[in-house]
Structure 1
Amino acid sequence: MAVRLQGERVILRDITAGDIPDLYYHYHESPDREHLKWNGPYQELDWVSLMDFAKDYEDLLLTARTHQPRSRLIIEIDGKVRGTVGRYWVSEVTNWFEIGIVIYDSNYWSGGYGTEAFRMWMNYLFTELDTVRLGIGTWSGNERMMRLAAKCGMKEEARVRKARIVRGEYYDAIKMGILREEWESMPFARNGVGQA
């Protein structure tokens, strides 16, 4: 029942109750909250108490006791919570969801950890779900995310010009995606890991 995916340097695993204070710290207390400037910065993050923050994770903690495919996993690096991967619905009617990644600790950026974690996540989702595609939604200022998606085989599928406002400037909304048959042709698709 528990999900724990071992990569070369990264572990993807279920979220536990013990992770909630660490996650809260990264969103509301850490001096290093650079990730908030890149991961959906056009959505304001309101302060909440730890108790209210924990309520948002109740369903995830229950899912971790089942055989259901996960919608979010912890990224563990060097034995600590360093980020998460997730998926969210765009349209349940058409079985369309998008995926994302955030590494909270900026010391672990640009070192290949995100590429390994994202490939593992994509492999897990294509294995566990009957989906024909995976995609992301980001903004044109987040070049790091677009490069990561491209490294994982995604192609730009749509660009909506000047659809996002970040720190007072307009940016394009970007959609990137990959089809199952494209993923299966990738050399790293068997185990979801590979060289960055």
Structure 2
Amino acid sequence: MTRIKGSKLTLRKATQQDAYDMYYWKFEDPVKEAKEWNGPYIPETFHEKEEFLKAWDPDEEIMPGTLDMLIIEVNSHFIGAVMAYWIDKNTDWLETGIVIYDPQYWNGGYGYEAYYLWLDYLFQTTGLHRLGMSTWSGNHRMMRVAEKTGMIEEARIRQARQVEGKYYDAVKMGVLRSEFYQ
């Protein structure tokens, strides 16, 4: 079972039980504060709990032997997830992401540690040359976490995202394997 221990947290393979936690934070949490940062311009399609649980696949891989998502936990408490998805598998263009749902764990270095461990896992288990991420210019936390892991801004699409009636830039960042392990 995939399990990566950091100094503050653990990244681990998702279980069926994690689907209940994920569902809570995505659909039942009355505040849904994480959505203010994580793609607020993307409408969240509601799913009935049974449908969500049935579709949950903790064994999904982006490549053989490499999971597409790991759970972030602190002291056995689910706080979020790291994930990866293909932009273009033919050219090995993989994007990564992180969501810490529980706001009690914001601003404490948990996001940086989880994201760094995630990028290291992806580079260690694949032959990928580059990893990227996409966000919006209003998500200063994500851009700072990405920068701390060695990512650099590679593209900025001006005023491409609209949040609460205000336009923000779309931001793409990336890191090469050789840069990550300098």
Give the TM-score normalised by structure 2. Answer: 0.95
Q: Partners in 2 of 1:32 and 1:125 — Cα distance?
A: 32
Contact 1:73 1:86 in 2 (8 A): yes
**Cα distance, 1:93 vs. partner?**
1.2
Secondary structure, aligned partner of 2:66:
coil
- 1:23 is aligned to 22
5+ residue gaps, structure 1: 186-196
- Taking structure 1 as the reference length, the TM-score comes to 0.88
Matches within 5 A, 1:138-177: 138-177=135-174
Sequence identity, in percent?
A: 46
Q: Deviations over 1:146-166 (max 9, x none)?
A: 011011111111000011111
1:62 match: secondary structure: coil
Q: Provide the alpha-carbon RMSD of the alignment.
A: 1.5
List, as ranges, runs of 4+ consecutive aligned residues in structure 1 with deviation greater than 6 Å.
none
2:82 to 76, 82, 85: 85
Give the structure with the higher percent strand. 2
8 Å Cα contact 2:157-2:169 kept in structure 1: yes
What is the DSSP-based 3-state SS (H/G/I as helix, E as strand, rest coil) of the residue aligned with 2:108?
Answer: coil
Q: Is the 8 A contact 1:137 1:176 kept in 2?
A: yes
In the alignment, which of 168, 176, 179 is matched to residue 179 of structure 1? 176
Pairing 1:29-178 to 2, within 5 Å after superposition: 29-58=28-57, 61-63=58-60, 68-178=65-175
Listed as ranges, the gaps of 5+ residues in structure 2 are none
Residue 32 of structure 1 contacts residue 106 of structure 1 at CA under 8 Å; is this kept in 2?
no
Number of aligned residues: 181
Preserved CA contact (<8 Å) 1:158 1:176: yes
